[in-house]
Amino acid sequence: MEQHRQEEELSFARKVLADRSADLLDKLSALKRRIQEESIHDTRVASRRLRAALEAFQDMLPPEAWQACNDSVKSITRTLGRAREEEVTLALLAELTTGGDLAENLCREYLEERYRRELGRQQQKMMRKLRRLDVRALRSQLDELPRRVGLGVGPACSRQTGASAGRETGASRRRTGEPRQKSLFPPRDVAHDRAHRIIAEAAGPVLAFRPRYDFPRASDERLHRLRIAVKKLRYAMEIFAPVRPGGLGKAVSACRAVQDTAGEYHDWVVLRSRLQAEIRRLTKKETTHFAFQIGRLQAQVEDRKSDRRRAILPALVQLQDELQQVLQEAGGDVTTAVAATDDGVRERR
């Protein structure tokens, strides 16, 4: 019976890794054939989803195989990142200038020209890296990944189980110099138990954020970290939704709402920083008339930024309500997830 339960968990991990690997490879091949704004975004998202699956099943894979695949996929995420950021900046800049006067429109055209040049450079750099990327080798590496499931150090693996596995692998790592690989899961772990543990861990930073006290004081950087935490939580829930009775549709939608509003807020924060840098550069060159016009655009950015910040709070409260319900339905203690973080115990509204 125990062997059957373990095999079910291994089969589930193999399917998730195979599906997400295939999705990334398909999107990457299409992107190499033709660059499009949406294809860059979709390929980057596919790489992040595969990384989330790798993290979820890390203990089931041999450390060297896990590390090699994780490094390859992370490299793709980074390669696609900068060009995507330039595209978002240009889109936001276009939003700012409807109905502007002549001076403001000239300022916008000046910035658009600079950012388009930078976008062109980033796309060329991205294409050079993509051309050097051996998709066949990556496909071979990822195709092998599901077959390596079960050869790791976790309790679901048939090779070793329990505390003795931890002692043996720890000793072997000290002898071979392999990187330490922490196993979070006790013996008799099954897919449902793994789902609860990973979701509870990922939910910790989100639940620890206190809307009433933390949000008014939160810096742009802290809200950015919150957005990243919500994104990781959403990817984890998407992986394990099939093993949860009734799924996790409402919680995933709540994650997406926070991710979208906080992401838009972050985009405006980035544009503000770029405009500030441009003002400093122009002031140093004594072209203060352009710096003044960019300052007018920056005032508009501040308005949009403030508007998007206000939209984060209700979405966050809704997400926290959904998370409490998800953890309680799984028989877990919500305070356990919160206590795992460094931000203290959450106080509602």
Same domain, 122 and 199: no
184, part of any domain? no
Q: Are 205 and 226 in contact (CB under 8 A)?
A: yes
Same domain, 158 and 21: yes
Same domain, 113 and 249: no
185, part of any domain? no
Q: Are 51 and 74 in contact (CB under 8 A)?
A: yes
290, part of any domain? yes
How many CB atoms sit inside 10 A of residue 184's CB?
Answer: 12
Structure confidence by residue, pLDDT tens digits, 278-315: 999 888 877 778 888 888 889 999 999 999 999 999 99
Q: Are 174 and 198 in contact (CB under 8 A)?
A: no
Report the pLDDT value the prediction gives residue 173, as an integer from 0 to 100. 39
Select from 232, 226, 233 the least CA-distant residue to 248. 233
User: How many domains, in total, are found in the chain?
Assistant: 2
18, part of any domain? yes
188, part of any domain? no
Tokens of 294: 């960019």
Same domain, 134 and 9: yes
Could you give the dihedral angle defined by the CA atoms of residues 93, 95, 98 and 103, in that order, rounded to the nearest 10 degrees?
-10
259, part of any domain? yes
The whole-angstrom separation of Cα 211 and Cα 229 is: 15
How many CB atoms sit inside 10 A of residue 307's CB?
Answer: 12
The whole-angstrom separation of Cα 25 and Cα 139 is: 7
Q: Are 212 and 344 in contact (CB under 8 A)?
A: no
Same domain, 214 and 320: yes
Which among 176, 210, 236 is the end of a domain?
176
Same domain, 140 and 12: yes
Report the pLDDT value the prediction gives residue 9, as an integer from 0 to 100. 84
57, part of any domain? yes
Q: Under 8 Å CB-to-CB from 218, ≥6 apart: which residues?
A: 226
24, part of any domain? yes
Same domain, 144 and 292: no
Same domain, 150 and 215: no
Parent domain of 21: 1-176
Structure confidence by residue, pLDDT tens digits, 60-117: 999 999 999 999 999 999 999 888 888 899 999 888 866 667 777 788 888 999 999 9
Looking up residue 101, the CATH number of its domain turns out to be: 1.40.20.10
The whole-angstrom separation of Cα 74 and Cα 88 is: 21
Same domain, 115 and 247: no
Same domain, 218 and 291: yes
Tokens of 318: 């809704």
pTM: 0.80
Would you give per-residue pLDDT tens digits along the chain (349 residues)?
556 667 888 899 999 999 999 999 999 988 888 877 788 889 999 999 999 999 999 999 999 999 999 999 999 999 998 888 888 999 998 888 666 677 777 888 889 999 999 999 988 898 888 888 888 899 999 999 888 888 766 655 644 333 333 333 443 333 334 343 444 434 334 678 889 999 999 999 999 999 999 999 999 999 999 999 999 999 999 999 998 878 899 999 999 999 999 999 999 999 999 999 999 988 887 777 888 888 888 999 999 999 999 999 999 999 999 999 999 886 655 555 555 454 443 333 3
Instruction: Give Cα separations from 82 to 119, 121, 133, 141, 156 (angstroms).
Output: 8, 10, 17, 26, 39
Which among 146, 176, 206 is the end of a domain?
176
Same domain, 151 and 219: no
Same domain, 14 and 90: yes
